[in-house]
Structure 1
């Protein structure tokens, strides 16, 4: 199932929908029409657990003739927001999680050339999140080195505390796309949150695809272009630390809860790693995608 958060119009409330063949089907209305109580918001739906997911799947599979007419809209007639417009807590970012990106970062960003022996974890605050099509803001007073990183995002479905690697994937609800925007010249004594956590620095979406529809999350192509020129292309098979390891490692010290987001790292091809280095500027257009999930497109504007 592809799940989205949408608005009918600017003043309407944000609601949970399923994306089916170019239509957005309102999940709460779908439940009401089929005798089930289903949430209006994504975080509540994820927290409701497998029973809510099964109920929504069953009602969708009944077919369009059984769907509530007021709750079925052409996707082009709604505005898609970030699937989780306001995460409950900081996004867990994973740094240096592809071999080639470790090498390019060591060459240009003064990080170690040695492969990490444990996941490198940082965070991006909820206020960094923007939805599909919203602009990335370039604050020229703060940065002259704005960079891009396409990433697969894993969404936690059930509470995970000190889970084993073998059990970790049972805690994953689904997957999405995220761009880890980074102001490379805003790192502070090795700390990354100012570099990576500024407003609009976490484009997220366009949907969450439930885990049952992603055959193997470690076999997904991902790519990014700037102004139509390809900058990144790789596959999640090249992660140093796979998703099961990330969930297990983070949960060993911090409890993961429904709706938590893990941005799993980026492959080579970032602007800082190029010779000469390349940066994002107002007027630039970023487009990226992950196989089986969808694409994001964002303009860079002056803050």
Structure 2
């Protein structure tokens, strides 16, 4: 099942993708793709619906973030060994955890806004995990029971803010538009193994990242169990699980985004995104 949200910013409506890839409105059944809808019982009710019985969404509306009401946007750094190598870092003995502001969340095809004063805005294609049932001190064996679904994320980053402005990475990760998610929330029945997904990213049609979730240092199951030892994970919380090599800072010389650049990215089975970069003056 592929769930999504469509409409103007702040006015998104819930929808489901049918077998032909058409949007079917869910407004008569749920208020949004959020909170209790993400619980196992909520997803089961949606799965029982016949998509053909739902109203067809006409036209080509804006697609919003695929989940609403996220309390936490948790990111994992240096979680691919080949990405760690390109940045000159070593693989960490435990996951590197940082938070991205939820105000960064946006739709998959919204404008990507280069922040004021930025000189090193970068890209990162990542697998996102959306929590569907509260996880607190869970084991690896039980971790996957807490997943509502998966989504595509571009973990946009301003490297100068991240590494040259002191303190934690969050300030380089949290600008408005730095967290496009979606287009869809894909339920686990359609993603039998989240550690076997191909992923890619292009800038202006040039392939920059090619990778697979198979090369994660710490997999989805481990990350959920690990994070739940430090904080409760609640329905709608997002975990962005790290990126493969090919980010802008890894090139020699580095390559960063500028006004007018077009970023496209995708993960097998999770759809694609397209962002045009603009500059906040």
Q: Scaled by the length of structure 2, what TM-score is found?
A: 0.94
SS in 2 for 1:59: coil
Asked if structure 2 preserves the Cα contact closer than 8 Å seen for 1:89 and 1:125, the reply is no
Q: RMSD of the TM alignment (CA)? A: 1.6
Count of residues in Structure 1 that have an aligned counterpart in Structure 2: 277
- For 1:53 and 1:89, locate their aligned partners in 2 and report how far apart those are by CA, in whole Å: 19
Distance 1:158 1:11, change over 3 A: closer
Deviation at 1:133? 1.6
- For 2:60 and 2:85, locate their aligned partners in 1 and report how far apart those are by CA, in whole Å: 44
Larger radius of gyration: 1
Matches within 5 A, 1:266-281: 266-281=243-258
- For 2:194 and 2:87, locate their aligned partners in 1 and report how far apart those are by CA, in whole Å: 25
Q: 1:84 aligns with which of 67, 84, 98?
A: 67
1:4 and 2:7 correspond: no
SS in 2 for 1:257: coil
Q: 1:155 aligns with which of 110, 118, 130?
A: 130
Asked if structure 2 preserves the Cα contact closer than 8 Å seen for 1:39 and 1:45, the reply is no
- For 2:122 and 2:11, locate their aligned partners in 1 and report how far apart those are by CA, in whole Å: 33
Listed one character per residue, the Cα deviations across residues 118-152 of structure 1 (whole Å, up to 9, x for unaligned) are: 1100111111011022111113x421011110000
In structure 2, the residue matched to 1:27 is 26
Q: 1:52 aligns with which of 36, 42, 59?
A: 42
Distance 1:182 1:166, change over 3 A: same
In structure 1, the residue matched to 2:57 is 73
- For 1:169 and 1:93, locate their aligned partners in 2 and report how far apart those are by CA, in whole Å: 18
In structure 2, the residue matched to 1:116 is 92
In structure 2, the residue matched to 1:42 is 33
1:138 and 2:114 correspond: yes
1:191 and 2:168 correspond: yes
Listed one character per residue, the Cα deviations across residues 87-116 of structure 1 (whole Å, up to 9, x for unaligned) are: 43231000000001111112xxxxx43x21
In structure 2, the residue matched to 1:109 is none
Listed one character per residue, the Cα deviations across residues 247-296 of structure 1 (whole Å, up to 9, x for unaligned) are: 01110010000110000000000000001110000000000000001000
In structure 1, the residue matched to 2:265 is 288
In structure 1, the residue matched to 2:148 is 173
In structure 1, the residue matched to 2:203 is 226
The structure with the greater share of residues assigned to helix is: 1
SS in 1 for 2:148: strand
In structure 2, the residue matched to 1:265 is 242
Q: 2:75 aligns with which of 87, 93, 112?
A: 93
Unaligned runs of 5+ in 2: none
SS in 1 for 2:245: coil
- For 2:78 and 2:123, locate their aligned partners in 1 and report how far apart those are by CA, in whole Å: 14
